[in-house]
Amino acid sequence: MKTECNTPATERELQPGTRIRKSRVGKWRALVLVVVNLAIVAHLVQWLVQGTTIAPIEPSESMAFAKEGVINPGFLFFAAAILSTLVFGRWVCGWACHIVAVQDGASWLLKKVGIRARHVDLGVLGWVPWLACVYMFLTPIVFRLLQGIGLEEPSVQLTTVSFWATFPNWLTALLTLLLAGGWIVWFLGAKGFCSYACPYGGIFGVVDQLAPARIRVTDACHGCGHCTAVCTSNVKVHEEVRDWKAVVDPSCMKCMDCVSVCPTNALYVGLGAPALFARRRTAVAPTKPAERGPLARFFVLAVFFLFAQAAFLASNTGRSDFEWKLVLALTAISLLVALPFRGKQQRRSEYSLGEETLLALVFLVALFGIRDQHIPVGLPGAAAIDFPFLFALALSAMFAYAAVQGVRMLLRPNVLVQKLPLRANGALQAPGLVFGLVLVPLAGVVAWRAWVHVDKVVEQHATQLGHGEAELRARRADELFQRGTRAAAENQLDVAERAFREALELAPGSRETRENLAGMLCAQGRYDEGIALFREALAQDPNDPDTHAFIARALIGKQDLVGARREVEAALVIAPARGDLHAFLAELCVELRDPACAEEHRRAAARLQNAPR
């Protein structure tokens, strides 16, 4: 049966002037989001009063698991959210996110004063949330695997006395809410932060495409467009259900506004094929020759992914793990997921290839100019305004859009930012003059700070290639040594041997590692190899009596009691007051049938053990 919903948009018009019903679920969702924020406040107050509380239930806390194997409430919440998204779709963003509450509040206020901000499509920057997710949660894991270090053993940490330790100061937090939660809504449209900065939305958008539960449509649909008019997730719902008989856009946050306002009740939440396997119902419009082909789009995507991951790693001057093989690995992971999960509904970009390249370039430069900056203010509890990663992503996206609009002002007769005319019929307008007066000095400051930051990064990594590399190798060697020690305690001798050998390659001067490796070899009956390593360790420190004792025990394993006696005697020359060595030699003398020697050293051992200390 053919309905209006099956008819392509080019063959009809959305019904203008029709009064759209008010969402029946909007107030309930707003109430839930208010409760979420009140719960956050209550959690903070409880920590301030009692001094200890449950660790923050925040997805970013999951980074502790990637770095140190720590399982905390944030990790458990994030894991549960991802698993539920796998079934029900991207509902957590719409119903449980405090930043979405702020953005929805900003949208509501703007509508009250007659402003409905249009969603701005920033092309390739729409992939920033996914790239940020890979960077934040996979970098520590991939780095360790590339270095052959292995992952940390899991541990559980559910409570904390330092609730605010991983969060910015109050002034930075307030500015983040005002700019990344409020101002971005007017500038880039509803859910602007979700679209261009939120790493959690990045993974939710990917997992959503595997969810069988999603918004679907019946033949009662007339294609009126009411659903799209009320959607605050920037989804063209009427096109989605027309083309796919379901909403397949990963931006859909399951707010349910579209379902509640449908005049024919044609929309519903139902089970069926996930978005990844949905089949198109309408024919694809013919591609115009001027549009970019798949190869050009893939090239732009791959290059941006590469330089974005490099910028994320390099701009973080607090870490020292930048290396190109890590960048390439993160880029490969990002692309392998992005290609199949890029979304079904492919729309033509608002930007030319040159403009999209400029967007990406300005975004990366701005990230260097904004991230980790500190602006002193001297206020109590907030001596400076900081610009952490997610805040910097949001500001960089807004700056990139502003820069492209500034370039368009020079080249086009008509340019808008939302509904403000910057230029009309070739004439510069008052908003355009203000826009330019703000943009030009701001661009100069951002470019200057980016230059300083890049210079600092280059100097830092150049230093790391020198003496800093030795520190990095020592850290890896120590981690491998600890891994070998744990494996030896669990009698996993082959694992322990491999770990000790790798550690010794990184730190060949480590006597402790060499002796532990020798011990592993002797425990496997490979005495000649073990003794050779013990003698190498002895050459590093000829005055270590314990190494002589280790060699003696290995020689006993070879049934060379005479050689073992010589080693223990050599140890006693170095440490004649060691009662344990005298006792060891007494046992050897018994085996060698030398009672006089045995009696002499037995008495020496007893005398030394009973001597006052």
- For 442-478, the DSSP string reads HHHHHHHHHHHHHHHHHHHHHHIIIIIHHHHHHHHHH
For residue range 553-593, list pLDDT tens digits in order.
999 998 999 999 999 999 998 988 888 989 999 999 999 88
Long-range residue pairs from 522-531, CB within 8 A, at least 24 positions apart, any chain: 522/553, 522/554, 522/557, 523/493, 524/493, 524/497, 525/557, 527/554, 527/555, 527/557, 527/558, 528/558, 530/554, 531/555
**What count of residues does the chain have?**
613
Report the percentage of the chain scoring pLDDT > 90.
49
Span of 8-12, 163-167, 236-240, 384-388 with lowest mean pLDDT: 8-12
Classify strands 155-156 and 70-71 as parallel, antiparallel or unpaired: parallel
Domains, in order of start, for the chain: 4-281 (no CATH), 536-610 (1.25.40.10)
Between 127 and 3, the higher pLDDT residue: 127
Average pLDDT over residues 493-513: 83
Report the percentage of the chain scoring pLDDT > 70.
90
Nearest of 281, 226, 220, 222 to residue 248 by alpha carbon: 281
C-alpha torsion sign, points 118, 122, 126, 129: negative
Cβ proximity of 3 and 219 under 8 Å? yes
Instruction: Report the distance separating Cα 73 and Cα 59, nearest Å.
Output: 9
For position 38, what pLDDT does the model report?
94
For position 613, what pLDDT does the model report?
46
For position 360, what pLDDT does the model report?
94
Instruction: Report the distance separating Cα 205 and Cα 89, nearest Å.
Output: 8
Say whether pLDDT at 460 is over 50.
yes
Say whether pLDDT at 464 is over 60.
no
For position 372, what pLDDT does the model report?
84
For position 305, what pLDDT does the model report?
96
Nearest of 122, 117, 190, 192 to residue 404 by alpha carbon: 122
Amino acid at 57: I
Q: For residue 545, give the 3-state DSSP assignment.
A: helix
Instruction: Report the distance separating Cα 325 and Cα 66, nearest Å.
Output: 19
Q: Which tokens in the block code for residue 464?
A: 């790391």
Between 582 and 343, the higher pLDDT residue: 582
For residue range 153-171, list pLDDT tens digits in order.
788 889 988 888 888 888 9
Between 517 and 152, the higher pLDDT residue: 517
For position 610, what pLDDT does the model report?
66
pLDDT classification of 134: cutoffs 50, 70, 90: very high
Average pLDDT over residues 221-229: 89
Largest CA distance in the chain: 115
Amino acid at 73: P
Say whether pLDDT at 221 is over 70.
yes
For residue range 261-276, list pLDDT tens digits in order.
999 999 999 999 999 9
Q: For residue 297, give the 3-state DSSP assignment.
A: helix
Between 441 and 144, the higher pLDDT residue: 441
Cβ proximity of 507 and 484 under 8 Å? no
For residue range 182-216, list pLDDT tens digits in order.
899 999 999 999 999 999 999 999 999 999 999 99
Residues near 189 by Cβ (< 8 Å), separated by ≥ 6? 117, 118, 119, 120, 195, 234
